[in-house]
A = this chain, B = another copy of it.
Amino acid sequence: MKKITILINCKDSKGIIAAVTNFIHQQNGNIVYIDQHVDREDNMFFMRLECELLKESFSFRVFKNVFRDVIADKFEMTWRMYDSDQKPKMALFVSKYEHCLYDILSRYTTNELEVEIPLIISNHQDLEPIAKSFNIPYYYIKVTKETKQQAEDEQLKLLREFEIDFIVLARYMQIISSKLIEEYPNKIINIHHSFLPAFPGAKPYHSAFKRGVKIIGATSHYVTEELDEGPIIEQDITRISHINTIKDFILKGRDLEKIVLSRALKLHTKRKVMVFKNKTVVFK
C-alpha cells in the first residue's frame, strides 16, 4: 500500500469533510487517520488526513492532479500532499553549542527521526569533530559583517545542491536573512531559550534570573522576519528557585532546548504542523 498525507486549509463551508473523504473512498483509498480543526474566529478550516492506496495502480502525480481538479479548486484550498515514504531532507545549522547537535544526531543515528540529514552548516569549526563522528558532512562557512552576504549565498547554494526541504537552527547564533527566510517560508525551525513571548532576544536566562521567575522555558518556532516572533510549534518549561544560579539556568535550560527542539522537528517531519496568521495548528 502507498501511504499519502494531505494537509488542507480553506474557508470553512458545509460538506468539505464529506467531499474529501468521499473522494478518497472513490479512489479506492482507505483513510487511516483524519484530524480536523475549525478556527471559528477566522472561519478557517484545517484538515490533516492520512490514507492508503493500492501501490500498483497508484500514480502520485495523477492522484495530485485529480485531487486538485475535483476537490481543491472547488473549495479554493491551500493544500500540500506528501508521499509518506519520502523522508524530508533537513539541514542543521550550528555554531558553538554542542548539546542540541549531540541530541539530534544521536536520535538520527538511532532512527528516531524520519528524516535525512545530508549536511551540517556552521559559522565555526568547533563542532566539526562531532559531525565527523556521526559521519555527516560539515560545511564551515565563516560569517562576518563583511562576508555575511556572500556567506549566505554559499549557504543557499549548498541547500539547493542538497535539495534541502527544511532547516533546523540548533542554537545557531546568527540572524537569518530575509533571503533565506523567503526561500524557506515556515521551513526554518529555531529553538529560543525562553518561554516566549517572555525574554525574546539575547541572554534570556540572564533576564529570567534578574526578574526572579520561578519557571523557565524554551520555545521552538518557525523563523520569520520578526526576531523570535514566528509561529510557535512547541514549548516546555522547568521549575527553578532562588537557589539556582544563572549557570544552573543554562544547564537546566539545555535539557529543555534539546527536548523542545526535537519535538518540534519531529512534528514538522511528520507533516503535522500548519501555519495560519502567525500561529500553528499542530495535529496529534
Contacts and interface: CB of A to CB of B under 8 A. Distances in A.
Contacts of A281: 242
A102 interface: yes
Nearest to A99: B110
A24 interface: yes
Nearest to A255: B259
Interface residues of A, number: 61
A251 B112 contact: yes
A55 to B, nearest CB: 16
A178 interface: no
B37 A243 contact: yes
Interface in A162-219: 195-199, 211-215, 217
Contacts of A34: 17, 34, 36
Contacts of A22: 18, 21-22
Contact of A212 (B109, B262, B280): B280
A161 to B, nearest CB: 28
B24 A18 contact: yes
A284 B25 contact: no
Interface string A224-265: 000000011111110001110100000100110001001000
Given A18-B24, A37-B243, A98-B110, 20 more contacts: A15-B30, A18-B21, A34-B36, A35-B35, A39-B242, A102-B106, A102-B110, A197-B213, A212-B232, A213-B232, A214-B232, A214-B235, A215-B235, A215-B236, A237-B237, A241-B282, A242-B281, A243-B284, A255-B262, A259-B259
A38 interface: yes
Contacts of A15: 25, 30
Nearest to A19: B25
Given A196-B213, A232-B213, A284-B243, A14 B40 contact: no
A67 to B, nearest CB: 15
Given A198-B197, A217-B215, A14 B25 contact: yes
B213 A235 contact: yes
Among A15, A17, A25, A211, residue most surrounded by chain B Cβ atoms (within 10 Å): A17
Among A198, A231, A235, A259, residue most surrounded by chain B Cβ atoms (within 10 Å): A198
A150 interface: no
A18 B23 CA distance: 8
A278 interface: yes
19 contacts: A15-B30, A18-B25, A21-B21, A32-B38, A35-B36, A39-B242, A102-B102, A106-B106, A112-B251, A195-B195, A195-B198, A197-B198, A212-B231, A213-B232, A214-B232, A242-B279, A242-B281, A255-B262, A284-B284
